[in-house]
Amino acid sequence: MEKTSEAFFQDKIDREIRIEPKDWMPEKYRQTLIRQISQHAHSEIIGMLPEGNWITRAPSLRRKAILLAKVQDEAGHGLYLYSAAETLGISRDEMYEQLHSGRAKYSSIFNYPTLSWADIGVIGWLVDGAAIMNQVPLCRSSFGPYARAMVRVCKEESFHQRQGFEILLTLSRGTEAQRSMAQDAINRWWWPSIMMFGPKDDESPNSVQSMKWKIKRFSNDELRQKFIDVTAEQVKVLGFTLPDPNLKWNKARGHYDYGAINWDEFWQVIQGNGPCNKERLEARKKAWEEGEWVRAAASAYTTKKNKRNTTVAA
Amino acid sequence: MSFHTNKYYYGDYGEAKNGAADISAKGSAKEEWPLWEIFIRSKQGLDHKHVGSLHAADAAMAIENARDVYTRRMEGVSIWAVESKYIHASNPDEAGALYDPANDKVYRHPTFYDLPDEVKYM
Ligand SMILES: [Fe+2]
Ligand SMILES: [Fe+2]
């Protein structure tokens, strides 16, 4: 019986038919997706913090309104994704608990500090840019609710990248101090941004299974290369440079070659030792704990209202 | 069955090297606000379409939250919120038995009928 379900499931995947929450699915598929979607959601939520840091200090009303809208979008992305994960049988509270206890991970990039206004430009350009590369293939994920959430997310992301690039473009035409502030931000964010694609392909055993389930469509290195090729051209428009002396066009490969990535740093950040890991989790926990009375009050109000309604009806 | 996920999506660092520990659903929702399914009419004249879900303490809050979560770019002119527990769904395992009888009633489709070419506007 089990075998029939599994074969039927695989057949649907092979024919690009989406899997929906109530359909039979292998337990491992369910777990892999819960992990992947919830950690993606956590990344969107934690990702609001580094940028939120600059909302009050945006240099103009226009920039402030844009940044507010962008950060609000990221909250939306987190919410779409949490609800997609919930269709697989995990509760919202459980996911929060996993994040707050440090059991769940989120994107390593958000554990770096935003030191200047130029960082906001670089985050939009590089971090959202890398996220878009990663997320576009997810619009075809085999799990329906995830794919639908990603379509919505991807539609909203491109404004994020453009507003970031525009900030940098403005700085690039500014004073010497503004130009060097922007270059400094690029220098700090470049390597963490290309680490966002995850470890080298040969670092972990090849996953036949997740390919087969169409959870995975492109490898980490494929996407990273694509991102580097695109970005190495865009930086020329800004008149800045990427901080990699080995970055060079390789005519034979038709791609840019790039220098060695510091994977030690990457794993350190993932394991909780990045510059801001503690601060980020503390901020989330604080928001959760201090919101407790609001959640309780709203529930109490609803209970009271319902009781009154039933009394009137009776 | 054991396998490793090699692809690392936005914040998901797989199971290796202190990536995510055991993340399994135990279904222990403490005192969560209930879940609501949100339907949005994108334009006057079109029907409401399911867009996703969210948590809210009551219907008014569900509609307010739906406005912020699902219509930040004028995606809708009307919102329906239905508490998820009131949605009844057909069972996908019975899809075959449920829809099969329709399969052999091709005469329900206009293309089933052969008419001479001279007949216009039918
Ligand atoms: Fe996002
Ligand atoms: Fe974004």
b/e code A90-121 from CB counts within 10 Å (16+ = b): bbbebbbebbbeeebbbbbbbbbebebbbbbb
Confidence class for position A202, pLDDT limits 50, 70, 90: confident
Contact B11 A94 (CB under 8 A): no
The alpha carbon of A158 and the centre of ligand 1 are apart by a number of angstroms equal to: 10
User: Which of A193-207, B33-47, B55-69 bottoms out in mean pLDDT, i.e. has the lowest?
Assistant: A193-207
Looking at the structure, tell me whether residues B23 and B83 fall in a common domain: no
B64: amino acid identity, one letter: E
B93 lies in a domain? yes
| Residue A205, pLDDT score | 45
Looking at the structure, tell me whether residues B17 and B63 fall in a common domain: no
Beta-ladder partners of B53:
B37
* Dist. CA A198–CA A195, nearest whole Å: 6
pLDDT, tens digit, 9 for 90 and up, residues B76-102? 999 999 999 999 988 877 777 777 777
Contact A296 B31 (CB under 8 A): yes
Share of chain B above pLDDT 90, in %: 51
Q: Which residue of A has its CA nearest to B8?
A: A198
Contact B12 A39 (CB under 8 A): yes
* Dist. CA A5–CA A218, nearest whole Å: 27
B119 lies in a domain? no
Looking at the structure, tell me whether residues B22 and B75 fall in a common domain: no
Contact B17 A270 (CB under 8 A): yes
B94 lies in a domain? yes
B81 lies in a domain? yes
B73 lies in a domain? yes
Res A60 pLDDT > 80: yes
Contacts of A65 in chain B (CB under 8 A): none
Res A52 pLDDT > 90: yes
The alpha carbon of A233 and the centre of ligand 2 are apart by a number of angstroms equal to: 21
The alpha carbon of A275 and the centre of ligand 1 are apart by a number of angstroms equal to: 22
- How many domains does chain B contain in total? 2
Q: Which residue of B has its CA nearest to A85?
A: B25
Looking at the structure, tell me whether residues B42 and B84 fall in a common domain: yes
pTM above 0.80, yes or no: yes
Contacts of A39 in chain B (CB under 8 A): 9-13, 20
Q: Which residue has the higher pLDDT, B100 or B69?
A: B69
Looking at the structure, tell me whether residues B44 and B101 fall in a common domain: yes
Looking up residue B80, the CATH number of its domain turns out to be 3.10.20.520
A contact residues 204-223, partner B, Cβ 8 Å cutoff: 204-210, 215-220
Looking at the structure, tell me whether residues B40 and B25 fall in a common domain: no
Q: C-alpha dihedral over B87, B91, B96, B101, to 10 degrees?
A: -50
B7 lies in a domain? yes
Contact B35 A86 (CB under 8 A): yes
Looking at the structure, tell me whether residues B90 and B65 fall in a common domain: yes
Number of Cβ within a 10 Å radius of residue A57:
12
Looking at the structure, tell me whether residues B24 and B83 fall in a common domain: no
The alpha carbon of A62 and the centre of ligand 2 are apart by a number of angstroms equal to: 18
Helix ranges (DSSP H) in A15-143: 27-46, 48-52, 61-86, 92-100, 117-122, 128-135
Looking at the structure, tell me whether residues B23 and B43 fall in a common domain: no
* Dist. CA B52–CA A145, nearest whole Å: 8
Contact B21 A103 (CB under 8 A): yes
The alpha carbon of B78 and the centre of ligand 2 are apart by a number of angstroms equal to: 26
B84 lies in a domain? yes
Looking at the structure, tell me whether residues B11 and B56 fall in a common domain: no
Looking at the structure, tell me whether residues B102 and B42 fall in a common domain: yes
B82 lies in a domain? yes
Looking at the structure, tell me whether residues B19 and B50 fall in a common domain: no
pLDDT, tens digit, 9 for 90 and up, residues A162-187? 999 999 999 999 999 999 999 999 99
pLDDT, tens digit, 9 for 90 and up, residues A227-285? 999 999 999 999 999 999 999 999 999 999 999 999 999 999 988 899 999 999 999 99
Residue B5: which domain range? Answer: 1-31
pLDDT, tens digit, 9 for 90 and up, residues A17-37? 999 998 999 999 999 899 999
Q: How many residues are recorded in chain B?
A: 122
Bin A115: left if φ > 0, else alpha if -120 < ψ < 50, else beta.
Answer: alpha
Angle between helices A144-172 and A128-135 (to 10 degrees): 150
Q: Which of B3, B17, B23 to mutate to test the interface with A (most CBs of A within 10 A)?
A: B23
Contact A216 B23 (CB under 8 A): no
